[in-house]
Each structure stands twice: as structure tokens, then as C-alpha cells.
Homo-oligomer: A and B are copies of this chain.
Amino acid sequence: MQKKISEKEFLENYRVNDYERPSVAADIVIFTILDKESDNYRKLGTKSLSILLVRRGGYPFLGEWALPGGFVKPDETVGQAATRELKEETNLENIYLEQLYTFSTPNRDPRAWIMSSSHLALLNSDNLQVQSGDDAADAQWFTMEYSCEENLYKISFSNADTTLSTVVKLDIFNPEESQVIENTGLAFDHAKIVAYALERVRNKLEYSQLAFNLVPEKFTLTELQNVYEVILNETLFKAAFRRKIAPYIEETAEYQEGFGHRPSKLFVRR
């Protein structure tokens, strides 16, 4: 039957409505390393992994906190939608962005059949100087603390006035099958998405150069080491760390001065 008509005719007669279609949203897990400045002029600040969340101003999950995101339009890819949302939230462009996973459990959104193509974005402290975008009325940075044993992620999120917490038994092969054991304040299935993003970052840190996206263009080796320590939740040996990253960095002639200790050399990514 089909062979009797031309491809042109076929395409003109194609009826997209023969199949039910989902809405597709692009959601973004935006991580950065925030620095809590020290009161002691000698000491360095303490760093912490942080995430940008937006307060929901409408139903469903009114008043809870969600990942930034929005619906994908017909003239863009899911990645372009995420880039657009990122710009609207943070006013930033040229940010590291990678696709994470497409969450598609039929009832994950009470409104309708809505899939979430989730993304991971990493900002460095240079980026944070920039003010937030138009859509960011209720966007806030939360510092994260977590523990993870046998894929049981216990995560807490804190800002000046709020603390959220969640416990997720992550299924690393099939993140949608993860069990949300406890969850206070995170909307939708976003606890699963955040846990999976954290898992991804922890893993990729070890076999890729992801960490450079979380430090400024010029950075000290201690800053870079802090990124690893804060994400991996462990302290590393300085000498071993420097040996390991040596192939990926290049020293500059500049130094970071102004603290009560020996100035540190600034490096750039090779």
C-alpha cells in the first residue's frame, strides 16, 4: 500500500494525531561551589556544593522547591530549551551543560503526561558575580550536605531561612526506579533527579575534567582540590592530588595574594 504512493505524498498525509503525545520539559540541576568567608584573616573560607532551586508560585506543589525548567518548544532541542531556561534564571550564557536523563514515569506530574529531560549545569564563582535573571524572582541558592552509602543518598539543602531534606535509594541503572524514602520540600520527582545528578557528578569527577567547570578561569590548586573534596565528601592528600592533575593544568605568572600566608600560584586549564 505504502509503496504505491510517493514519499512526498506519504509525508503530506502523515497524521501525527494518530498517536498520543506527551509534553516534554527541560529541567536543570544547577550546581556551583559557594564560599562561606572566614572571620579569621588567615584562614580560607569553607566551600560547599550548592544548588539553585525555585519556589513554586502555583499549583501543583505550591510553595515547594523545584528545579528550574520549562517546556520544550517545537523549534528547539531539549538542550536548547535548557540553555534558554538557564539564561532566564541566571542571566548567564556559555555555561557547562550536559543532558542527564529523561524521566518519564506516566504519573510523575499530576497535571498531565509530562516527561522531564533533565540536565546538569555547572557554574563557577566568576559566574556568580552576575545578577539573576528575570524569571528568578524566587530562585535561591541552597548549600548541600550529603552522605552516601550503597547508593542511599541522604541530602539536605539549606539557605538562610529554610532547610529541605531528602533520602533517596538511588537505582543507578534505572534512576526512575529509585525509592524516595523521605522528602520534605522538593516538588515532583526532583529528589530523584538531584540524587542522580549528584551521582553523575561524583563519578564523572574521577574520569573527566568536569571539576574545571566549577572553578574560575584562573584558580589555585587548593581551590581545585576543594572542589574534589566537597563533591567526593573526603579529604585528599595534597601531593598526590597535584601529581594527578598535573597533565591538565598550566601555570600562569600570577599569584593570589592578600592572605596571612604564602601566596598561591594561579593556574589555568590546559
A21 to B22, CA, bound (A): 6
| Segment of A107-115, A230-238, A239-247, A257-265 in the binding face | A107-115
- Whether, in the assembled complex, A46 has its beta carbon less than 8 Å from a beta carbon of chain B, the answer is no
- Which residues from chain B contact A72 at a C-beta distance below 8 Å? 22, 104
A10-B59 in contact (CB<8A): yes
B106-A77 in contact (CB<8A): yes
A74 to B112, CA, bound (A): 10
- Whether, in the assembled complex, A160 has its beta carbon less than 8 Å from a beta carbon of chain B, the answer is no
What is the size, in residues, of chain A's interface with B at 8 Å between Cβ atoms? Answer: 46
- Which residues from chain B contact A105 at a C-beta distance below 8 Å? 77
- Whether, in the assembled complex, A146 has its beta carbon less than 8 Å from a beta carbon of chain B, the answer is no
Q: What per-residue 1/0 map shows which CB atoms of A3-19 lie under 8 Å from chain B? A: 10001001100101001
CB of A21, distance to nearest CB on chain B (Å)? 4
- Whether, in the assembled complex, A73 has its beta carbon less than 8 Å from a beta carbon of chain B, the answer is yes
Nearest B residue to A78, CB-CB: B104
- Whether, in the assembled complex, A92 has its beta carbon less than 8 Å from a beta carbon of chain B, the answer is no
- Whether, in the assembled complex, A132 has its beta carbon less than 8 Å from a beta carbon of chain B, the answer is no
- Whether, in the assembled complex, A2 has its beta carbon less than 8 Å from a beta carbon of chain B, the answer is yes
- Whether, in the assembled complex, A40 has its beta carbon less than 8 Å from a beta carbon of chain B, the answer is no
A72 to B113, CA, bound (A): 11
Nearest B residue to A20, CB-CB: B74
CB of A239, distance to nearest CB on chain B (Å)? 25
- Whether, in the assembled complex, A99 has its beta carbon less than 8 Å from a beta carbon of chain B, the answer is yes
Nearest B residue to A96, CB-CB: B173
Nearest B residue to A70, CB-CB: B19
- Contact of A59 with B2 at beta-carbon distance under 8 Å, contacts A106-B74, A106-B76, A117-B102 already known: yes
CB of A20, distance to nearest CB on chain B (Å)? 5
A75 to B19, CA, bound (A): 13
- Which residues from chain B contact A79 at a C-beta distance below 8 Å? 104, 174, 176
- Which residues from chain B contact A101 at a C-beta distance below 8 Å? 99
A14-B111 in contact (CB<8A): yes
B111-A24 in contact (CB<8A): no
Nearest B residue to A118, CB-CB: B102
A62-B7 in contact (CB<8A): yes
A124 to B13, CA, bound (A): 41
B22-A24 in contact (CB<8A): yes
**A11-B111, A102-B117 known; 16 other A-B pairs, CB under 8 Å?**
A2-B62, A3-B62, A11-B110, A16-B23, A19-B23, A22-B72, A22-B74, A24-B104, A24-B115, A77-B104, A78-B115, A79-B104, A98-B174, A99-B101, A99-B102, A203-B207
